[in-house]
Each structure stands twice: as C-alpha cells, then as structure tokens.
C-alpha cells in the first residue's frame, strides 16, 4: 500500500480520536450500515482531498464499507492531523499528507492520489478538480464532489467559461451542509482556534467579523455569546442589513480596523484586510482568517510594513511595525479553526460527510448519464439527513394532518 505521512507510530492516538468522532456521527453510522450490505461503491477508487481530521477518517471508513478503495490527501498544508493520518494507514488506507508540508510536497501528494486513477474525486477547495483540468487531463473520473463555498465558486466559474469537463456535485449547496457546517461548525471552531492560539478572554473585546455569509453569521453569533462587542464588515447590503438587525454594528473595514481587538475574515475573497487596515489597527490587535484560502489577510503587505516577526505562542506570530505597534497573526492566516484547533466538531461534519458519501454513491449510480456541469443532491436527501440528525439530537417531527396538507396544496380557501 502506498502512503506518505509524518509517522506511523502516532496511530494509537489517532485511532482513539477517530473512534470518539465516530460516536458523534450518527447519520454516517446509519449510512455505513446500509453501505456494508449494499456495497454501492464496490471496486471503485475514491481520491479525497479533504482536511485530514478524525471526522474525515470516518468518511474514509464509510467509503471502505461501501466497497471502495479510499485514498486521502490534504486540502490544506496546515490542517493535517498526523495521528489520524497514521491511524488510517494502520487501517490499510492510503494517505498522502503531512502537517506543515510545503507547496511542492502538497501538490506531489495530490498527484500521488490522482496517479491511483480514481473513479470519483472529492475536493474541499477544488484543488484536485483544478489539476484534472490543467496538468492531469490524463485522468477522467466518473465525477467529482465539492465540499466548500470557495470550491463551488471556482467550479461554477469553470462551467461558465466552458472549461468544466466533469459532472460535479456541489455538496456545499445542500441545506444540511451550508446551513449547519458553515454556520455552527465554523462559528464554534473558529472561536476555538482564536482562543487556543491566544488564550485571550473574548468578553469585553471588540471582535470584527469580515463577511456575514453562513460562516460569518456563525462566528458573529458565537463571539456575541462569549461577550464580545461584535462589528460586522460586509459588501452586500442585504447581508449587512441582516447583521444590523441581528444587533451588530456594521462598519467599513477602515472604520472597523481602528476599533477592533480581534479580527476574523470569512469572505472567500482576497486581501480583505490589507496595508491600509493594518496601518489603523491598535497595538496587539489579533488578526485571523476562517475563509478557505490564506489570501484574505494580505500578510505580504504586513511583512513589508514590519521590522521584525517572531513566534509568541503556538500558532501565533507577532509582526512588529515601524512605529512599534504589534499585530498578531493566528495560524499563519490559514483557516484558524483547522490550523489552531481541530476543525469542526464531528456532530456537524456528520451531515457534511454523509452528503459527501451520498454524492459519491449518486455519481457512480449515474455513471455515463451525466453531462459535465454542477449538480446538487435532491431535496429528499437533505430531508433524510436532517431527519436522522434530528432523531440523534432527540428531536421529533410534527406531521401534517390531511386537512393541512390539502390546505397547503390548494388555492380555493382564502379569507
């Protein structure tokens, strides 16, 4: 079996963490039972470029239960949990990922996964899909799946200009993914990352959330719960108005830069905090990012404005500006929830990864019937996943009476 990981000796700790995560992934467990008997992915190779975490490991086991040969490489050089990588290798699953690897090693690992000629590729950020459309046109999988907002945006741009040559399931577009993973998952884990990196008391500080999409809303909500004064920066008037009516101050980035103690970007956009903002920041302001790529904070500009850079804690670097002010950067500007914490809790990845597994099953079941394009999973799948998760949380659904059903589908009854 081929693999490239930091150290196989870490497998015991990784197995423990995988097992704990597995206990909190009840929807995936239900799916695994069906997969074990039906084997919908029998004999298929699935290459997943996802964060190498305990939750992803459980998805790999589900794919194996379905009869597939899963292969895992990292979707971010800083998010790999080396112990989990070791535990998967001990399970006989090929993993190509090492925490902190450089860009060359990162892409060597993606190519190693593609060398195994996958039938389906899974992405979190469209890096495998991009290779499949540039340097690796020698491989043509049945289809691909995409986990995150930024990846879906990239793939839609490929479809728009006619470049896309594969059917792709936008898993992010399932309601049971983006309304929960992006909001509650990022909300909790991004705060966890900032706290682990800095150990500051959030209560009483001003926290600036740049971007009020699903992720930003979750982060703002959790920061508010910790007692922060939350300021939101948005470019979309509807989202900005939502933030205002949710009770937050809405400001321009310039104005927010001067008042913030902690900043977090969650836009999927480039250089949303840059030189002009760093110039206005208070001494010891902490800046972080939870958007997909490490381009939301312009750290090149910050480096250029600084006389010195030093590590002050794990995952926290201090840049000293010419006037003596210090700006602290968490997790090198990469996803703070994965770089400085453990990523989303298993409870929410349960739904995201159940959707991933169902997307792979759907692509194989529809092999040869799908044109290149972006697809979303059917509403019934969302309803099924939500029902199972609700049951796991101890909730119960009300049902419509026949009279109510008739009322909701008719038009005759009015005032």
Collapsed DSSP state (helix, strand, coil) of residue 348: helix
**Binding test (CB under 6 A) with ligand NAD, winner from 145, 174, 206, 267:** 267
Residue 232 sits in the site that holds ligand NAD (CB under 6 A):
no
> What are the beta bridge partners of residue 122?
48, 145
Residue 266 sits in the site that holds ligand NAD (CB under 6 A):
yes
**Binding test (CB under 6 A) with ligand NAD, winner from 141, 187, 213, 333:** 213
Distance CA 363, CA 13 (A): 34
Residue 149 sits in the site that holds ligand NAD (CB under 6 A):
yes
Kindly indicate which of the ranges 17-25, 52-60, 196-204, 264-272 contains the residues binding ligand NAD, using the contact rule CB under 6 A. Answer: 264-272
> Which helix (H) or strand (E) element contains residue 378?
none
Helix ranges (H only) for 125-213 are: 127-132, 149-160, 175-177, 186-198
Kindly indicate which of the ranges 113-121, 194-202, 207-215, 356-364 contains the residues binding ligand NAD, using the contact rule CB under 6 A. Answer: 207-215
Distance CA 290, CA 267 (A): 8
**Which among 122, 67, 174 has a CA at the least distance from the CA of 389?**
174
Closest distance between ligand NAD and the C-beta of residue 149, in Å? 4
> Which tokens hold the place of 332?
């090198």
Distance CA 298, CA 279 (A): 12
Closest distance between ligand NAD and the C-beta of residue 138, in Å? 28
Count of residues near ligand NAD by CB under 6 A: 30
List Cβ neighbours of 43 (8 Å cut-off, separation of 6 or more).
67, 68
Kindly indicate which of the ranges 69-77, 83-91, 262-270, 405-413 contains the residues binding ligand NAD, using the contact rule CB under 6 A. Answer: 262-270
Distance CA 199, CA 313 (A): 10
Closest distance between ligand NAD and the C-beta of residue 68, in Å? 25
Q: Which residue has the tokens 């659904």?
A: 397
**Binding test (CB under 6 A) with ligand NAD, winner from 335, 348, 363, 377:** 335
Residue placing its CB nearer to ligand NAD in the complex, 156 or 229: 156
Distance CA 70, CA 99 (A): 20
Kindly indicate which of the ranges 16-24, 176-184, 310-318, 392-400 contains the residues binding ligand NAD, using the contact rule CB under 6 A. Answer: 176-184
Kindly indicate which of the ranges 109-117, 212-220, 279-287, 355-363 contains the residues binding ligand NAD, using the contact rule CB under 6 A. Answer: 212-220
**Binding test (CB under 6 A) with ligand NAD, winner from 113, 131, 228, 272:** 272
Residue 156 sits in the site that holds ligand NAD (CB under 6 A):
no
Residue placing its CB nearer to ligand NAD in the complex, 256 or 357: 256
**Binding test (CB under 6 A) with ligand NAD, winner from 39, 136, 239, 282:** 239
Helix ranges (H only) for 54-147 are: 54-65, 82-90, 103-115, 127-132
Sequence-distant contacts of 157-160: CB under 8 A, at least 24 apart: 158/129, 158/133, 159/372, 159/373, 159/374
Residues numbered 76 to 115 that lie near ligand NAD (CB under 6 A) are: none
Distance CA 135, CA 130 (A): 8
Kindly indicate which of the ranges 14-22, 59-67, 286-294, 369-377 contains the residues binding ligand NAD, using the contact rule CB under 6 A. Answer: 286-294
Distance CA 94, CA 354 (A): 21
> What are the beta bridge partners of residue 329?
287, 317
List Cβ neighbours of 408 (8 Å cut-off, separation of 6 or more).
400
Residue placing its CB nearer to ligand NAD in the complex, 334 or 384: 334
Determine the distance from the C-alpha atom of residue 44 to the mean position of all C-alpha atoms in its chain, rounded to a whole number. 25
Residue 211 sits in the site that holds ligand NAD (CB under 6 A):
yes
**Binding test (CB under 6 A) with ligand NAD, winner from 116, 235, 242, 320:** 235
Distance CA 75, CA 31 (A): 24
Closest distance between ligand NAD and the C-beta of residue 152, in Å? 8
Kindly indicate which of the ranges 133-141, 233-241, 305-313, 320-328 contains the residues binding ligand NAD, using the contact rule CB under 6 A. Answer: 233-241
Distance CA 288, CA 316 (A): 10
Interface characters, 342-381, with ligand NAD (x: CB under 6 A): --x-------------------------------------
Residue placing its CB nearer to ligand NAD in the complex, 14 or 216: 216
Side-chain half-sphere CA neighbours of 88 within 13 A: 34
Distance CA 50, CA 73 (A): 7
Cβ-closest residue to ligand NAD?
Answer: 213
**Binding test (CB under 6 A) with ligand NAD, winner from 22, 187, 216, 339:** 216
Footprint of ligand NAD (CB under 6 A) = 148-150, 178, 181-182, 186, 210-216, 233-236, 239, 266-269, 272, 290-292, 335, 337, 344
């Amino acid at each position: 079996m081929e693999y490239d990981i930091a150290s196989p000796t870490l497998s015991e700790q990784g197995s423990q963490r995988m097992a704990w995560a597995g206990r909190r992934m009840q929807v995936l467990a239900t799916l695994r039972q069906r997969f074990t008997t039906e084997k919908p992915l029998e004999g298929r190779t699935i290459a997943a470029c996802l964060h190498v975490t305990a939750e992803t490991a459980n998805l790999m086991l589900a794919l194996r239960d379905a009869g597939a040969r899963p292969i895992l490489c990292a979707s971010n050089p800083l998010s790999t949990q080396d112990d989990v990588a070791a535990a998967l290798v001990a399970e006989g699953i090929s993993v190509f990922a090492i925490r902190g690897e450089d860009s060359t090693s990162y892409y060597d690992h993606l190519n190693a996964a593609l060398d195994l000629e996958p039938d389906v590729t899974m992405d979190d950020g469209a890096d495998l899909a991009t290779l499949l459309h540039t340097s690796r046109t020698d491989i043509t999988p049945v289809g691909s799946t995409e986990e995150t907002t930024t990846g879906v945006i990239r793939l839609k741009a490929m479809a728009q200009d006619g470049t896309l040559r594969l059917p792709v399931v936008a898993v992010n577009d399932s309601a049971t993914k983006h309304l929960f993973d992006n909001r509650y998952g990022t909300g909790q884990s991004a705060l966890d990352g900032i706290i682990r990196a800095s150990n500051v008391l959030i209560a009483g500080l001003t926290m600036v959330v740049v971007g009020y999409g699903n992720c930003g809303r979750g982060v703002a909500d959790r920061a508010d719960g910790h007692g922060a004064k939350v300021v939101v920066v948005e470019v979309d008037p509807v989202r900005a108005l939502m933030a205002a009516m949710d009770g937050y101050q809405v400001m321009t980035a310039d104005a927010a830069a001067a008042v913030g103690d902690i900043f977090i970007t969650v836009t999927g956009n480039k250089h949303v905090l840059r030189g002009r903002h760093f110039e206005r920041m208070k001494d010891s302001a902490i800046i972080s990012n939870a958007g997909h790529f490490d381009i939301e904070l312009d750290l090149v500009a910050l480096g250029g404005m600084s006389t010195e850079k030093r590590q002050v804690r794990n995952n926290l670097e201090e840049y000293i500006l010419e006037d003596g002010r210090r700006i602290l950067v968490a997790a090198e500007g990469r996803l703070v929830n994965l770089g400085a914490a453990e990523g989303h809790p298993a409870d929410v990845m349960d739904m995201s990864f159940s959707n991933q597994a169902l997307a792979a099953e759907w692509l194989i079941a529809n092999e040869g019937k799908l044109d290149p394009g972006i697809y979303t999973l059917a509403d019934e799948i969302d309803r099924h996943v939500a029902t199972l998760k609700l049951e796991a949380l101890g909730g119960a659904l009300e049902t419509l009476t026949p009279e109510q059903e008739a009322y909701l589908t008719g038009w005759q009854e009015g005032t």
